[in-house]
Structures are given as C-alpha cells and as structure tokens.
Amino acid sequence: MKAIGFKRSLPIEDEQSFIEFETEIPTPKGHQILVKIKAIAVNPADTKFRKYALGDKELPEPKIIGWDAAGEVVGVGDEVELFKIGDEVYYSGQIDKPGCYAEYQVVDERIVGHKPKNLSMVQAAALAVPALTVWELLLDRMYLSKENAANKTLLIIGGAGGVGTYAIQFAKKILGMKVIATASRHTTIEWCLDYGADLVVNHRELLMEMQDNGYPQVDYIIDLANINQHWKNMVELIAPEGRIGSISDATGPIDLAALKNKSVSFAWEFTC
C-alpha cells in the first residue's frame, strides 16, 4: 500500500519532510480492525509532531503519520466485538502506532466510533481531535455537566477555530449554557453566531465589549488562542469560584496566584 511518513523532523520546505513509500498492508490482530482510509484530517498536532518529535534523530524506516481518519472496515481481529466488515467508522488513532496517512490502517476497535450517517467521510474525519478536546476540556478537566452548567455563562476565547466551533455547539446544545465567543472579522463573527453563540465580542477590546453587553463577569472561560495574551482579562472577567480552562501553549509564566482571591480553579487540557 502507499503511505506518507517521515524519518527526520525537518522544516516543511525540505523535500524530505514527507516521504511517500510502499509498505505491506497490516494484518489486524486481537481487538484491531483494518480500515480502508477514505478521508483524513490535518490538525496542529500533526504538524508539530512531524516538525519536532524526532529532534536530531533519524529513523531507519519512515514513520506513518496522521491521527484523524474515516473509512470502511475491511478486516477484523479475532477478538473484535464492536464492528464488522463493511462498517463505516471514524476515529483518532494512537501516537505510538502507525498513522492514517496511508491506504490502510489497523486501529484498536475500542477507540473507534461508527461514522454518523448524516456526515460524509470528510466531515467525519475532521471531527475526532477537536471534538475530543472539547469533551475532555469541559467535562473531564472543568467538571461541567447538564446539572451544574445549564444557564451558566461560558466565554470562549477563539470561537471560530476547529475546537471553538465544537465548543460553541457542545456548550449550547448539550450543556444548555449561555455562550459568548470571541471573533474579530465579519466572517468569523457570522461563523460563531451560525453555530449557536449567543453573543460574539472582539478579543482586542474584550473587557470593554463584555461590560457594554452586560457581562462584567462570567462563570466559566476557556482559552483556545493565547493564554499569555488573554490572562489578565480572564482573571478580571471570571466570577468568584469560577473555572478557567486552556489548551494554548504558554509562552511565559502564568500568574496562578491572581486567581486566589476569587477561589477560581484552572485546568490545562493537553493538546500537541
């Protein structure tokens, strides 16, 4: 089968940063299923992994990259219980296994989902990492639920990106929250509103626009953009005993002590 991989972490301009090569179609074992790949997605995690993971090392054989994919099950291991040949599936793979930038991939059935019938293969492939990030950030890290989050206010800094788009929908439709998103261009403002945001404000004038719209404080904040740039505003806007979550990479120290007087909790969600 054809596959795309890399042997060294190189700048994208280098012609060896991606290597197209031929390899054997893998055989599923145990709980593994063999998927014929129909669509893949590219996330920041993919680009960072290729660019930085190997450091100065060079692999003897190319490592197949890519996590998010959708396709059709064409083979099953002898312990598979959840899927059968012909099922359409989507998933985010494992970082320590060969990736999805290939014609076929084996993946553990226990991290795979049935593709929603109302989504195309391309749409399903784009779902996994952003949606999982939202689920883990809001539910697992910030402990939100229908019972404790309904009708509370959530500020999403970076509402028009991949994670932000799912966060708006999840917070609004599943948790029943009042959702405020940040965006600055006409197209991104309309995007956030179309996906369910109750209000969109400009992050460049965040405090002023929040106050002008009647929100001097909010119950929860998630930062999907730049934690250092927005930290002081988040500290100012978060309500006492509120919670802040972030997925962005800190470029300098974060003053967590600033949260003490309000008894505010903070949580990271890891994303490459």
Question: Closest by alpha carbon to 140, among 9, 219, 243?
Answer: 243
Residue 217 or residue 43, greater confidence: 217
Confidence category of residue 47, pLDDT binned at 50, 70, 90: confident
Regarding whether 109 and 188 lie in a shared domain, the answer is no
Q: Return mean pLDDT, the chain.
A: 96
Per DSSP, the residues of 3-55 read: EEEESS---TTSTTSSEEEE-PPP---TTEEEEEEEEE---HHHHHHHHHTTT
pLDDT at 43 over 90: no
92 and 175 belong to one structural domain:
no
Residue 272 reports pLDDT greater than 80: no
Q: Same domain for 112 and 164?
A: no
Final residue of a structural domain among 84, 106, 126: 126
Looking at the fold, whether 134 and 192 belong to one and the same domain comes out as yes
By CB neighbour count within 10 A (0-12 exposed, 13-18 middle, 19+ buried), where does 77 fall?
A: middle
Alpha carbons 115 and 233: distance in angstroms, whole number:
40
Domain count, the chain: 2
Strands 88-92 and 68-76: antiparallel
What is residue 46's predicted lDDT score, i.e. its pLDDT? 87
Summarize the confidence of residues 195-223 as an average pLDDT: 97
> What pLDDT is attached to residue 270?
84
Range 145-159 average pLDDT: 97
**pLDDT at residue 44 in the model:** 83
Mean pLDDT throughout 260-269? 97
Q: What is the domain range of residue 117?
A: 2-126
Predicted model pTM: 0.88
Please identify, among 126, 145, 176, the residue that sits at the C-terminal boundary of a domain: 126
Amino acid 181: pLDDT: 98
Which CATH number belongs to the domain containing residue 238 in this structure?
Answer: 3.40.50.720
| pLDDT at residue 48 is higher than 90 | no
> CATH no. for residue 23?
3.90.180.10
